[in-house]
Each structure stands twice: as C-alpha cells, then as structure tokens.
Amino acid sequence: MLFNKEKKYLLPPVSGAGNYVRHVKLRVKLPENIILCPVAGLTETVEKKYKTKRVIVDGAPVYVFEKYNCAFATGFGIGAPALACTMEILIALGAKNFILTGYAGSLQKKINAGDIVICSGAVRDEGVSSCYIPPGHFSYPDKNLTAGLKSVFEKNKTAYHDGPTWTTDVIFRETAEEIKHYQNAGIYTVEMEAAAAFAIAKHYKTKCAALFAVSDILADMKWEPSFGHEKISAAMKTILKTILEIFEK
C-alpha cells in the first residue's frame, strides 16, 4: 500500500540537506551561482581552459572559477534523484542560482545533433518533481535566467532553439509510442533532469534555467547517436562560454 503523495511537497522532511551538511561537517565555501552538468562532456575543458579551485562536495567534484562568480558541479550521477541530492546539498551550502546543462535527444526533425536547445519547460515524466511542487504536467525554468541565456546567444549571433523537454526516469525505455506522443505535442527534446531541477528550485525559492546540446536523434523512431562527435563538444563549449558570460564578475 502506497502512501498518498499528492501533498508530499507540503510535508517537512525528517532529515534534510542542512542536517546532513552539519553531520558530515561539510565546510565548503561556494559562490551562489552554480552550473550543473551531469555528464562529463565539459570537465576537461573546465580543468584545462579555466583557472578554478577544485573542491569535493559529497564525493563529486565542484570547480570554483576564479574570474567568474560561479562554480561548475559535475560527476554527481545521471537522472533526477542524483540531481536532487546534489541540488539540495548545494542549496544548503548557499547556492541560489542554477543553470543545468548536458546532453539531450531530439524529438523533432528540425533539431539536429550539435544543435543547442534552451529549455522553456519540462514534462514531468519522472518521480522527483512531485516531492517538491504540486502534481502537474510541467515544471518551468526561471524566466529571468532563461531570458539572460537568450540575450547572450542573440548578442553573439549564436543559433539556438527554444522549446520544451520531456524529462524521463529511464534512459533505455523511450518507446516509439511516447516519442510520437511528445513529438506531436511539440516537445523538442528528451533528457533526465530538467523537470526535477525546476521543481527543486521553485520549492526552495531559488532559480534554475536549462539548456542542452543535442547528442542523439529519436525523431524517426530510431536511435541515431552522435556522442563523441566534435560538433557535440563544440556545442557544449559554446554553452559553457555563454553561461560564464552571465556570471561574469
């Protein structure tokens, strides 16, 4: 018998990230602006191209930039539950603004591998978001952070798409029926974190936006991967540069 979770987002937790941070004596000073990147696609660039201080937060590396008012968090795992744990701890440490990035699959034929998509909303097909906000179909990014991303892309005359994503819990269970459904509904991409990230930020009155590099195509009901291709790497580097412009000191 399952507990009725419709109002779980209103219930106080028994433990909480703040208690955890105090218990493990996690004394790390971080900026309030955080880049969240579940995948490893930018780690080498961050390490080699930028001056950073590397700290460990709950077993995962966080790189604090010297010339930018932000830190880069990665290596915490893929999927909404892993992201939730990391965001909770970072918020307990003082984080206030998040930009989520990483890879996403394209559901639309007009969106190709290596394209960049700024997320306008996320279908909540995962189990985490309802722990933080009321049940519903979508969660949404912060308008101001999202507008800031678009502004930098437009200033730099860099192409991007602007549309919603489908956040799913299981990477190898995207079915043709689901893809057709969300494709017909105008959903641009599929990934595994955005819906939860937006919900967590809203719950804690912090801010979150998201943008993705398209790494694989599912628009024709078959999987066409481009992982490891230079155009994916180039897109991720463009994303990082864009975010850093927003958080420049």
* pLDDT value, residue 32: 97
Q: Provide the pLDDT confidence category of residue 43 given band limits of 50, 70 and 90.
A: very high
* pLDDT value, residue 41: 84
Q: Provide the pLDDT confidence category of residue 163 given band limits of 50, 70 and 90.
A: very high
For domain 14-246, give its CATH number from 3.30.70.270, 3.40.50.1580, 3.40.50.2300, 3.20.20.210: 3.40.50.1580
Q: Provide the pLDDT confidence category of residue 172 given band limits of 50, 70 and 90.
A: very high
Confidence check: pLDDT of 56 > 80: yes
Tell me the percentage of the chain whose pLDDT exceeds 70. 100
* pLDDT value, residue 248: 85
3-state secondary structure of 80: helix
Confidence check: pLDDT of 249 > 80: no
Q: What is the mean pLDDT of residues 34-54?
A: 95
* pLDDT value, residue 11: 94
State the pairing for strand pair 207-217/97-106: parallel
Q: What is the mean pLDDT of residues 185-210?
A: 98
Q: What is the mean pLDDT of residues 136-143?
A: 98
Per-domain residue ranges for the chain?
14-246
* pLDDT value, residue 208: 98
Distance from chain centroid for Cα 17: 19
Q: Which two tokens stand for residue 45?
A: 């660039």
Confidence check: pLDDT of 16 > 80: yes
DSSP result, 14-68: SS-HHHHHHHTT------SEEEEE-SSTTHHHHHHHS-EEEEEETTEEEEEESSB
* pLDDT value, residue 223: 93
Looking at 128-137, 146-155, 225-234, which range is the least confident one? 225-234
Q: Is 69 exposed, middle or buried (0-12, 13-18, 19+ CB in 10 A)?
A: middle
* pLDDT value, residue 143: 98
